[in-house]
């Protein structure tokens, strides 16, 4: 039998097909959670589920977080399968569409805001409604993924940095509004993490970034997942509306 902080709990992770989302599924599963691995790329979400041990209690779901009906369908699928809503929600779905501000296409600004910020809002709203309707909100925990570039700004990321600053503000507002139902909402603020999202960063830029990190290296998805797991669990029962940096010490 699994022993851990999430035994008997359902954890829904968006962006679960890759990087930080996939590592989060592994961390929560290790601690006994039933995992809902949700991603726009269902094939990768399935691979995440296959990589977990104790697999019978986990499912993968296809979702496009920027589309409210798709988010709605995802929660209906979870309810059909588990007969209750998830009480751990991790919003890890995210995209980049980098270019200099003077050259940025309007559609690339909209795409990033829609997935990273609106998508996080839609999942929070739908999850909270489902939990309150089921009388299961007390003790629930929502963890959003912001970014250090949302705190300091970053050349080439007018869209992404704005979306992530928005995620932090959304997190604080959600904490204020949902705490009366017993739902906590916090954000992790990663620095530069090795994942498909950062693979395309040119080597020269990677070296420049590393020079600004006290630990002198990019982080690993597992190092972010550990903090997400802590915020999702009752171990962090008095942390609410907070943003926790996981950057290796960033001097940006």
Nearer to ligand NAD among residue 76 and residue 138 (C-beta):
76
Instruction: Say which of 160, 166, 195, 233 is annotated catalytic.
Output: 160
Is 238 a residue of the active site?
A: no
Residues within window 25-84 making contact with ligand NAD, judged by CB under 6 A? 39-41, 44, 63-66
Overall residue count recorded for the chain in this entry: 252
Separation of alpha carbons 37 and 125, rounded Å = 19
Token pair for 65: 């977080």
d(CA 238, CA 139): 11
Site residue total, ligand NAD (CB under 6 A): 30
Residue of 95, 151, 228, 232 that binds ligand NAD (CB under 6 A): 95
Minimum CB distance to ligand NAD smaller for 65 or for 88: 65
Q: Which of 14, 60, 161, 162 binds ligand NAD (CB under 6 A)?
A: 14
> Binding to ligand NAD by residue 171, rule CB under 6 A?
no
Distance between CA 3 and CA 238 in Å, rounded?
23
Q: Which residues contact 14 (CB under 8 A, 6 or more apart)?
A: 21, 38, 39, 63, 65, 90, 91, 92, 93, 119, 123
Positions 185 through 214 that interact with ligand NAD (CB under 6 A): 190, 192-193, 195-198
Classify burial at 56, counting beta carbons within 10 Å of its beta carbon; exposed 0-12, middle 13-18, buried 19 or more.
Answer: exposed
Q: Would you name the residues annotated as active-site residues?
A: 160
**Chain residues in the site for ligand NAD (CB under 6 A):** 14-15, 17-21, 39-41, 44, 63-66, 92-95, 115, 119, 145, 147, 190, 192-193, 195-198
């Amino acid at each position: 039998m699994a022993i851990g902080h999430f035994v008997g709990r359902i954890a829904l992770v968006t962006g679960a097909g890759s990087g930080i989302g996939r590592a989060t599924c592994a961390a929560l599963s290790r601690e006994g959670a039933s995992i809902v691995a949700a991603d726009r790329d269902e094939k990768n979400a399935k691979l995440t589920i296959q990589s977990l041990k104790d697999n019978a209690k986990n499912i993968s779901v296809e979702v496009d977080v920027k589309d409210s009906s798709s988010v709605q369908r995802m929660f209906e699928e979870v309810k059909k399968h588990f007969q209750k809503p998830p009480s751990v929600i991790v919003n890890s779905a995210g995209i980049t569409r980098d270019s200099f501000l003077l050259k940025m296409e309007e559609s690339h600004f909209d795409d990033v805001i829609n997935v990273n910020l609106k998508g996080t809002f839609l999942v929070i709203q739908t999850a909270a409604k489902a939990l309150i309707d089921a009388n299961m909100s007390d003790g629930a925990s929502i963890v959003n993924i912001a970014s250090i570039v949302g705190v300091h700004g970053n050349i080439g990321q007018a869209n992404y940095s704005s979306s992530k600053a928005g995620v932090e503000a959304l997190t604080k507002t959600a904490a204020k509004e949902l705490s009366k139902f017993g739902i906590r909402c916090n954000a992790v603020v990663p620095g530069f993490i090795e994942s498909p999202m950062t693979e395309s960063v040119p080597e020269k830029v990677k070296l420049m970034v590393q020079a600004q990190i006290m630990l002198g290296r990019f982080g690993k998805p597992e190092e972010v997942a550990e903090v997400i797991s802590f915020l999702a669990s009752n171990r962090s029962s008095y942390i609410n509306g907070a943003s926790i940096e996981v950057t290796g010490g960033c001097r940006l």
